[in-house]
Structure 1
Amino acid sequence: MQLDFSTLTPLERYRWLASTVTPRPIAWVSSLSPDGVSNLAPFSFFQVISDDPPTLMINVGSRDDGTLKDTLRNAQATGELVIHLVTVAQAEAMNASAAVLPHGISEFEQCAIASLPASLVAPPRVQGAPVAFECKVLEIQPFPREAANCHLIFAEVLLAHIDDAVLNDKGRIDPALLDVVGRLGGMAYTRTRDTFELQRPS
């Protein structure tokens, strides 16, 4: 089978890419509007792209009507985010926060998701998240530049909250204890407990 991507619709391209480039980590992103309304939304086009400076990138697509999502609007206005990893136990709440709500309605309140204050940034963080990165926005790039249908947010990690319960006896992350979910295609997800190790060649 061969796919000529120039002949596919945007939806077909998305479906093939999203079902083959897997598993993808999920960024559960909290932000705050200039008037103080909290927002929480998941994004699976997400990755760490640099360790110096420590930088995460999130792709935030536009809505079907072309308007900007609240996460992007808040990032543009305030320059701050908290990016969480999602555990299996939090998967249902994460999925609920993906609902399209009217502007000005908080997913924390609408979905009854408990929050905690962050230390260095204004947006709240999700209570119980095993990892939460407090971030400042380095830059936001419309993509593609000629006719943007999404925006790339480059966020520098200022502070990480890591639950001691997911650490092994050496103080490192134990994937089995972390037990986060990854995105597959369609409605499918996976979890990170099934692992194996390989020694890199010298």
Structure 2
Amino acid sequence: MHYDADARTLPHNPLKAIVAPRPIGWISAMDKAGRLNLAPYSFFNAVSGEPDMVMFSSTGRKDAMTFAEEGGEFVCSLATYELRDAVNATSAPLERGVSEFDHAGLATTPSRKVRPPRVAASPAALECRWLQTVPLVPLGGGKAGSFLVIGQVVSIYVDDRFVRDGRVDTAAMQPILRGGYFDYFRIESENRFELERPKGGG
């Protein structure tokens, strides 16, 4: 079959079920007044390793994005299976300036190089400086409904328990990943395998 968004040949858009599972950026940001926001974003990923950069995409100008712009910084804490209920709780549509940390019963801990704190219980976090926000204007022009927020990573925290032989053990942290609809996935050690790149080439 072919899905056409205009014809609605399926009751739900299959995009999120096909581009899946996706990492979750659990974004904390602080406005100039010191108010905190924490929210999960499933349109999130690393976009560069030289220099380290990440992005998250916001549908509408939500607090995490506007706080990141205003404060110039944000933090991506790792969303894990152990913290899944708290991750979900921080997606609640609270009033601007109401702390999702408090709402979800989460403790904060200071970041090293940026003002917004990270989630204390999370085993890893990326401290970022905001670079730019890109409006995602659709074909034919018109008003952007979503916005791509790009930040440069200036410091990385990893719980020492998950650093082994100089490598971070991703599976041991059990990150959760977003699928379509209400589906989530988690990474587990038994599903891990390695492949070496072919030699030669550019």
TM-score of the pair, normalised by structure 2: 0.90
CA contact (8 A) 2:25 2:44 kept: yes
1:121 aligns to 2:114 (yes or no): yes
Unaligned runs of 5+ in 2: none
The equivalent residue for 2:37 is 39
Shift of 1:6: 4.9
The equivalent residue for 2:157 is 161
The equivalent residue for 1:180 is 175
The alignment of Structure 1 onto Structure 2 pairs a total of residues equal to 193
Shift of 1:181: 0.6
The equivalent residue for 2:81 is 88
Match 1:191 to one of 164, 181, 186:
186
The equivalent residue for 2:21 is 23
TM-score of the pair, normalised by structure 1: 0.90
Unaligned runs of 5+ in 1: 63-67
What SS does the corresponding residue of 1:134 show, helix, strand or coil?
strand
Distance in 1, matches of 2:75 and 2:4, equals 38
Distance in 2, matches of 1:123 and 1:197, equals 35
Distance in 1, matches of 2:35 and 2:81, equals 27
- Does the C-alpha gap of structure 1 residues 104 and 171 become closer, same or farther in structure 2, counting only changes over 3 Å? same
CA contact (8 A) 2:89 2:103 kept: no
- With 106-115 and 191-200 compared, the bigger mean Cα shift is at 191-200
CA contact (8 A) 1:165 1:177 kept: no
Shift of 1:176: 2.6
1:152 aligns to 2:145 (yes or no): no
Q: Percent identity?
A: 36
The equivalent residue for 1:201 is 198
Distance in 2, matches of 1:182 and 1:132, equals 16
CA contact (8 A) 1:167 1:174 kept: yes
What SS does the corresponding residue of 1:76 show, helix, strand or coil?
helix
Distance in 1, matches of 2:53 and 2:171, equals 25
Shift of 1:196: 2.3
Distance in 2, matches of 1:187 and 1:26, equals 14
Shift of 1:94: 0.4
The RMSD of aligned alpha carbons is 1.7
What SS does the corresponding residue of 1:120 show, helix, strand or coil?
coil
Distance in 1, matches of 2:5 and 2:72, equals 35
